[in-house]
Structure formats: structure tokens, C-alpha cells
Amino acid sequence: MSIDDTRTTTAGAATTTATDEVAASAVRGVLASGTRPARPSGVTTSLTFGWRALLKIKHVPEQLFDVTVFPVMITLLFTYLFGGAIAGSVDDYIQFLLPGILVQGVIMITMYTGVTLNTDIQKGVFDRFRSLPIWRPSALVGMLLGDAVRFTIASVVIVALGLLIGFRPEGGPLGVLAGVALLLLFAFSFGWIWTFLALVLRTPNAVMGVSMMVITPLTFGSNIFVDPSTMPGWLQAFVEVNPVSDLVTGVRGLMNAQPVGDHVAITLVWALALVAVFGPLTMRRYAR
């Protein structure tokens, strides 16, 4: 290479460096010209992700089928299928059944929390979320908050349908609201199981399959449909330690103005334990 070529290359490199410095200075000037926005809080980002979950319903209204059509179907099916055989009449049975079928309906649709999360993971959406400078759990918490709205819709549908076919809660509106609030709190905590499974299992179908294996014995092996005193001893033992049984007894007592004993307190302990166990497990897996 000649001396002239070397001088030309050096001059070009110097010009490029100077241009880069000017561009960098211009960018710094633009960024410094305004007030830097504050970092969003965990509450703000969680609510934003919750709104994202609700926007999915706007664009895919079919997602509301599981919180509208499904609750109506199971309420009518079990009421008129078992009413005459168990209680002698539908009017008598609906007073006992509706709080339980409300619990079953909401608990069963919680599994879609895991299915939706696993679908987002398969699409790579959560890889982007994890790279954002936000509170790490907010994406998961927000999704659960959005699902809480869906659970509320399902609860309203079931209670309204129950009132139409003869359910008359002795606890009045306050009792119904208290029962639904207890159920929603437990459902939010219960959803952390499915978020963990969504991060462990590889497909949405696998999440749904495992979820059904867990939910089916918990709901049908409880006091939702019949008094446990009519069951064999080994099944009574399972029903007594089943957290869904405590939840059903608490919701039923609040709605019908009946003594709830320590069932509400036990349900709250279960809810706290589920979050305490599966919350950290989910976040550890999410971080990886």
C-alpha cells in the first residue's frame, strides 16, 4: 500500500469517527432535552398486563364462551339432572347446589390461565417481556388479574341464572358478594398452580390435560353435589381435607346466612399457602 493510500484510509477513519461522535452527541442532546420518565411501578405494570389480557377478549370474543356458555350449561345440567333424585325437587336442591356449582364453574375455568400463558410462551411473547425494565412478576400477576375479571363474569352469570331458576340466598346481596369475593380470592391463588405448570410443560394441550387431572378429583370429590355424610368412610376422609370442600362450605354459608365455622379461615390459609409455594416456584422458573 502506498503512502497516499494510507493517508486516505486514515482520513476516512477520522471522518467516520467524527461523524459518529456528532451523531452520539445529537442523540444525547435529544434525550437530555426532556424530563426522563419515572420507572413504572409494579402495580402500574401489573394493571397494564391485566388490560392486555382483557384486550385479547376484545379481539377474540370466543374466549368468553368458557365464562358464559360453560357456566350456564353446568348449572342447568346438574340442577335438573340431580335435583329430583337427591333433594326431591329442583327448588330445594338449587339452594344447596348453586354455591357449590359456582365454585366448580370458576375453579374449572382457572386452568385456561395456564393454557393461555403456555401459548404466549410458545409464540415467544414472554421472551420480550422478560427483557423489559419492569417488575419481573408483573406479566404473570397482570395476567391473573385479567383472568379475575373473567371469573367475575362467570360468577355473575351463574348467580343470575340461579336466581332465575329459584335460588334465594338467605344472606342477601351482601352474603352473595362476600361468597363471590372469597371464591375470587381463592381462584386467584389457585391460578398460580397453572402458571407454574405452563412454564414447566411444553404444550397447551399438556397443561390442559394435567389441569383436568388435578381439578376433577378436587371438585367432584367434595361437598359440591351431596352431603359428605352419605359417602363411604374413605371418601369422607378425602372430602374433609379437600380445600375445595372448605371453600364450598364457606361460600354456601355466606350466601345462605349459615354458620361457616373455621372454613373461611381455612380457605384463606390455603390461598396464602398456594401463593407462598407456587409464586416463588413460578418466578424461579420464569427467570430461567
Give me the pLDDT at residue 11, please.
Answer: 46
State the DSSP code for 230: G
pLDDT more than 90, % of the chain: 36
Mean pLDDT, the chain, rounded, equals 83
Q: How far apart are CA 54 and CA 48, in angstroms?
A: 10
Mean pLDDT of 60-85: 79
The count of C-alpha atoms lying within 13 angstroms of the C-alpha of 86, restricted to the half-sphere facing its C-beta, is: 20
Give me the pLDDT at residue 70, please.
Answer: 81
Give me the pLDDT at residue 275, please.
Answer: 93
pLDDT tens sequence across 157-185: 999 999 998 899 998 999 999 999 999 99
In this predicted structure, the answer to whether residue 243 has a pLDDT above a threshold of 70 is yes
In this predicted structure, the answer to whether residue 218 has a pLDDT above a threshold of 90 is yes
**286, 200 Cβ separation under 8 angstroms:** no
Distances (CA, A) of 34 to 31, 253, 285: 7, 58, 38
What is the SS3 assignment for 39?
A: coil
Confidence at 16, pLDDT banded by 50, 70, 90: low
In this predicted structure, the answer to whether residue 200 has a pLDDT above a threshold of 50 is yes
Q: Residue 212's closest CA among 109, 92, 86, 60? A: 109
Mean pLDDT of 247-270: 93
Q: How far apart are CA 174 and CA 255, in angstroms?
A: 8
Q: How far apart are CA 59 and CA 220, in angstroms?
A: 34
Radius of gyration of the chain (CA): 27
Give me the pLDDT at residue 37, please.
Answer: 63
pLDDT tens sequence across 29-68: 655 555 666 777 778 888 888 888 888 777 767 667 777 7
pLDDT tens sequence across 91-150: 888 888 899 999 998 998 888 888 888 888 888 877 777 777 888 788 888 888 888 888
Give me the pLDDT at residue 35, please.
Answer: 63
Could you tell me which residue, 265 or 116, shows the higher pLDDT?
Answer: 265
**135, 158 Cβ separation under 8 angstroms:** no
Which H, E and C letters describe 63-86, residue by residue?
A: HHHHHHHHHHHHHHHHHHHHHHHH
In this predicted structure, the answer to whether residue 6 has a pLDDT above a threshold of 50 is no
Cα 146 to the chain's mean position, in Å?
7
